[in-house]
Amino acid sequence: MSGRTVVVTGGTRGVGAGIARAFVEAGADVVVCARRPAENPVEGCRFVPLDLRDRPAVAEFFAALPRLDVLVNNAGGTPHRLLTDVDAERHARVVELNLLVPLTATLAAHEHLARARGSVVMIGSVSGGRPSPGSAAYGAAKAGLESLARSMAVEWAPDVRVNTLVVGMVRTESSHLHYGGAEGIAAVSRTVPLGRLAEPSDVGSAAVFLASDAARYVSGASLLVHGGGERPAFLDAATARKED
């Protein structure tokens, strides 16, 4: 990735920081943007403060870049909220952050990317392909993001490649908020076929692959980064046993 410029949205912590670090290690010039700077910045990255929901500011940010080869739409997330616990406006904000923000950023970056024959990596989620109680709006937005990426890949070919990383559970500094302490994280890890949660570096490596020349014929694809997925619940619930 030497000589290429990469923008990672929300690249200041967690998965985003892991992605930024992977591109730095691959030799890219990396710009991360978020509302607030990182407490522990990734060495080698340039930080630009940006509210990604501010569309004029997003357009101005991308217009000011001298070049852009790769855009990683990582900014997103949601708190745990059952559908009836909050009003529709709160859910709409989740959809905005996880679907409309990537759309806005990618449209603003399109001219740069087409000129460079670059690529877009959307950070999706397994929540977009299965029921997501407590994060239904997030799951719906991630499903839409994957669909958006496939359409972009067709509309913008052959100048820009667009792919999605469908990410499972990742161990970050916030994991305890979702799974509990060390015991909770260990218990959740045992539900993953590979026996552990992903590290941010695992997602970063996959993002670098999709953006690199090694994936030059990959576009409109969804790459699962989930450690083998989830063990079907019925296997543990079933009472039948195989005969000896």
Label the pairing between strands 70-73 and 161-167: unpaired
Distance CA 186, CA 198 (A): 12
pLDDT score at 16 = 96
pLDDT score at 172 = 85
Distance CA 78, CA 94 (A): 6
pLDDT score at 243 = 52
> Does a cis peptide bond (omega within 30 degrees of 0) precede residue 158?
yes
Tokens standing for 108? Answer: 């603003």
pLDDT score at 121 = 98
Residue 162 class from Cβ within 10 Å (0-12 exposed, 13-18 middle, 19+ buried)? buried
Helix (DSSP H) and strand (DSSP E) numbers for the chain:
9, 7
pLDDT < 50 regions, the chain: 244
Say if residues 204 and 23 touch (Cβ distance below 8 Å). yes
184 has which bridge partners? none
Closest to 212 in 3D by CA, of 122, 108, 119: 119
- pTM value? 0.94
| Cα 17 from chain centroid (whole Å) | 11
**Structure confidence by residue, pLDDT tens digits, 92-117:** 999 999 999 999 999 999 999 999 99
**Structure confidence by residue, pLDDT tens digits, 124-157:** 999 999 999 999 999 999 999 999 999 999 999 9
User: What is the CB neighbour count within 10 angstroms for residue 120?
Assistant: 26
The architecture in CATH of the region 5-235 reads: 3-Layer(aba) Sandwich (3.40)
